[in-house]
Chain A
């Protein structure tokens, strides 16, 4: 037994934001040249956030609003036999109590992949926290008091809360067959959907294998835990429509769903989306907005609901996963076969979870050159919080297994984790998914691996008790998309971008500001960005999958270039200059007399009538039906993470000495924001790797509900040294060669941490999170 080592002295404090960032020679080509793009332009809207002036949904004043409270049951699954609202209605301030009986019959259902979610529980609640009734009252206190006075007569029903229970032959069905699609893989089971990917000759390749490793891994249920729990306000309008305030990532999807459920034209459903205070995938899809809209239309009142953090635990989570992997290797470490069975434990409604399962497992074999692969994945319903998109979208689960398998083989063959990855990592242009729709690498991923290895000093000798792990992973970007943007260049040289991307912390508007500044030659201060209002801003499909830089970025860029072409044409007309003598470039009009700043050229072109230029930009990527994902990924997020850890064998505690994350970013449009996203994702990845898990009791009720009992990383959980770096080869499909980057740094955190713990302490952990208790138990099992 040894003394716990003292925490190493922290790195010297530094002023420059980039000091924790490894310098990249590719940066020089863009940064420091005076251009807005490529420099660390400060966050658009940052000052409002730092002073408290930024208004999130709960901060918006609605003086006449009535307040909403849900009536929930203390069980996960129950049949509702009767609801007695009389006592509640008699309480002071109560405006209305609404149940399924007050809605159109059958109660409308909505959803993304399946139309399975009722506006309010319809005869049955299927997970803990699902509202059975909803109360509207003048004050929050009155609404809550009345919600407690609603008597819901109910009969508890058996539910399934684990994969084992949900997959048992006699398992109660989470979904009544009437709301299941007939085309599902197993209509009489809880398997909602499945996905299968295979290539190569498994039998033949297996015969060549010298080493086969076979293991089962688990990844926990974790919750998004946005610091802004969120809420919804619905204002009924004079024309019979609604204005809906909700901090959603997809305002246009919410508009479409509401219009359908309420049977209203899109023009009567206006979604105003205040900036989300953190999304991480949890604020993508509609949940209670349809219920709020019915309530507002029935009562004629503005209805306001502000969620608690505890509410969000019953609203969104990441799918848990159990992965069984069998992987064959040649004696030189070449991976020959990889078989994965991944069962994602999704919740009581489909939400977007089937897509999480199919898209995540699609890259289950990792960024490797593997001749024969078979992946079988399932989305399994359970009576728990519906799982949804969560940063990484199903990829961290399978990457945990695949990366751990690589390390298991490396140990068996006497190779390092670095070396086995060097030997198997795919090269640019080579297909890591083979078959009819091959997926080729779109980056120099070996460069990221070597960079991370150098930054962690991978092969350096380390004292006993310390270890290093290195892992890689990929995530497919969007497989189809549509973003439309308008840009206006005004007479005085100021400019407006209308871009529907939700700015939830990734800093999207800052990028649009930078692009306008460079492309139109206007000052950053002269640019405004308008978003979050479906009445004013053109369509954007989604803010998800790290797509906005690429899709909306290209749309904004196209709108700027549209303006330049218009300025050229009108300038020619106004000055009677032959068009062929004119040209345009970023921020300038080229005339026979020389370069004119574009705003000046625009003023000359507009002349005494003034007016403005309106540019339009569209970025559209259609999928293709033959592709198993419905389309090729626009790009791949690739990340290499390396971790150095010290294990306290007395307590099982981990001291993270150094964490290195290298992401392939294409081009850093804003290096400061890339650092923020990479560091943030790294630490979020440490959350699910080290400490986070939702604990569901045998009754289906979450046991660690709220911030006291559910731990997320704090300042004190940050590794002693946290280093992020980018590989930037300008090889992405976005503006200036950029790619999306917001998820990469958490894809393979778990694999790197697990390998580091094994290297340090000799124990292998296959269940996340790697808690001190699990490490301690593994150490004791080993010595017994």
Chain B
């Protein structure tokens, strides 16, 4: 009879914690995280900002999208230490005031884009970045620009409507 080990034991080393100073949603925050921690893990576990979600953990689904120095990133692929001295905006930082909604968030609801809601924080952040880069996107540009964010409820058309509606609102504002 042949026996196999399931997998060999691998050495585990807990990296020493590193202090990371960053600006999150406009506030200065200090995190103490091992160097191998992702920004997503640090935001969720250290700062209790659980709006950014974990799904694929390999940069494919977009549920963890945050804004890093003005650019959308999948925070599961960014190390927390990379945020040192930089500015992070999460979904929690998009509304003008706590308890309020941004125009884009309102339009997500009005368009019926929010179903199970798990991908929605990432969708809202990605759409906000898209609109900042291109204030009047075409449908094709929205589909292209949002293609890194998966939605299994497949609210895709609803989100396209929400982005158009927000663009119109902002143009009229």
Contacts and interface: CB of A to CB of B under 8 A. Distances in A.
B152 A51 contact: no
Contacts of B90: 52
A683 B138 contact: no
Interface in B7-38: 7-10, 12, 14
Closest CB pairs A-B (n = 5): A52-B51, A277-B118, A49-B117, A505-B116, A145-B12
Given A17-B110, A504-B116, A50 B154 contact: no
B58, B108, B140, B156 interface centre (most CB from chain A within 10 Å)? B156
Nearest to B12: A145
B88 to A, nearest CB: 14
Contacts, number: 237
Interface string A143-166: 001001111111110000000000
Contact of B140 (A10, A72, A224, A682): A10
B117 A54 contact: yes
Given A11-B139, A42-B109, A148-B7, A227 B12 contact: no
B55 A707 contact: yes
A679 B152 contact: no
Nearest to A309: B56
B9 A149 contact: yes
B7, B150, B153 interface centre (most CB from chain A within 10 Å)? B153
B35 to A, nearest CB: 13
A682 B90 CA distance: 31
A40, A54, A227, A279 interface centre (most CB from chain B within 10 Å)? A227
B120 interface: yes
B5 interface: yes
A743 to B, nearest CB: 13
B87 interface: no
A463 interface: no
B146 A715 contact: yes
Contacts of A675: 112, 158
B116 A277 contact: yes
A505 B146 contact: no
A51 B109 CA distance: 11
Given A61-B48, A155-B2, A155-B3, A56 B53 contact: yes
A632 B90 CA distance: 50
B91 A51 contact: yes
A10 B143 CA distance: 10
Interface of B: 1-10, 12, 14, 44, 48-58, 60-61, 63, 90-92, 94-95, 101, 105, 108-121, 124, 138-140, 142-144, 146-161, 164-165, 167-168
Interface in A1-32: 7, 10-11, 13-15, 17, 19-20
A151 B6 contact: yes
Given A15-B165, A52-B121, A277-B116, A141 B109 contact: no
A505 B1 contact: no
A715 B140 CA distance: 10
Nearest to A12: B139
A64 B164 CA distance: 45
A132 interface: yes
Given A145-B10, A672-B112, A227 B143 contact: no
A148 B124 CA distance: 38
A61 B95 CA distance: 23
A644 interface: no
Contacts of A333: none
Contacts of B154: 679-684, 713, 718
Contact of B110 (A42, A48, A276, A684): A42
Given A17-B161, A52-B51, 7 more contacts: A51-B91, A87-B9, A148-B9, A680-B153, A680-B155, A708-B56, A715-B156
A225 B91 contact: no
Contacts of B4: 74, 153-154, 156
A154 B157 contact: no
A59 interface: yes
A152 B115 contact: no
A14, A91, A506 interface centre (most CB from chain B within 10 Å)? A14
A108 B165 CA distance: 55
Nearest to A8: B140
Contacts of B148: 714
Contacts of B121: 49-52
The size bracket of the interface on A is: 35 or more
Interface in A56-81: 56, 58-59, 61, 71-74, 81
Interface in A703-738: 706-708, 712-716, 718, 722
Contacts of B63: 227
6 contacts: A43-B115, A59-B50, A82-B3, A153-B3, A672-B112, A715-B149
A229 interface: yes
A714 B160 CA distance: 12
Nearest to A145: B12
Contacts of A58: 50, 53-54
Contacts of A142: 12
A87 B90 CA distance: 41
Contacts of A228: 53, 55, 116, 118
Contact of B150 (A275, A280, A504, A707): A707
B101 A51 contact: yes
B57 A308 contact: yes
Interface in A491-516: 504-507
Nearest to B104: A50
Given A145-B12, A309-B55, A45 B150 contact: no
A164 B104 CA distance: 52
A280 to B, nearest CB: 7
A47 interface: yes
Interface in A253-285: 275-280
Contacts of B156: 679, 683, 713-715, 718
Contacts of A71: 6
Given A43-B109, A672-B112, A680-B115, A14 B151 contact: no
A226 interface: yes
Contacts of A50: 101, 105, 108-109, 114, 117, 120-121, 124
B103 to A, nearest CB: 11
Contacts of A309: 55-57, 61
Interface string A673-690: 101110111111000000
A414 interface: no
A685 to B, nearest CB: 9
A10, A71, A224, A275 interface centre (most CB from chain B within 10 Å)? A10
A55 interface: yes
A630 interface: no
Interface string A585-619: 00000000000000000000000000000000000
Contacts of A15: 161, 164-165, 168
A181 interface: no
A185 interface: no
A46 interface: yes
Nearest to B159: A715
A53 interface: yes
Contact of B50 (A11, A55, A88, A148): A55
B155 to A, nearest CB: 6
Contacts of A10: 138-140, 143
A142 B167 CA distance: 47
A673 B6 CA distance: 47
Contacts of B159: 715
Nearest to A132: B6
B150 A227 contact: yes
A708 B6 contact: no
A684 B150 CA distance: 12
Contacts of A278: 115-116, 118, 152-153
B155 A46 contact: no
Contacts of B55: 227-229, 309, 707
Nearest to A71: B6
Nearest to A717: B156
A229 B119 CA distance: 12
A718 B146 CA distance: 12
A170 B115 CA distance: 48
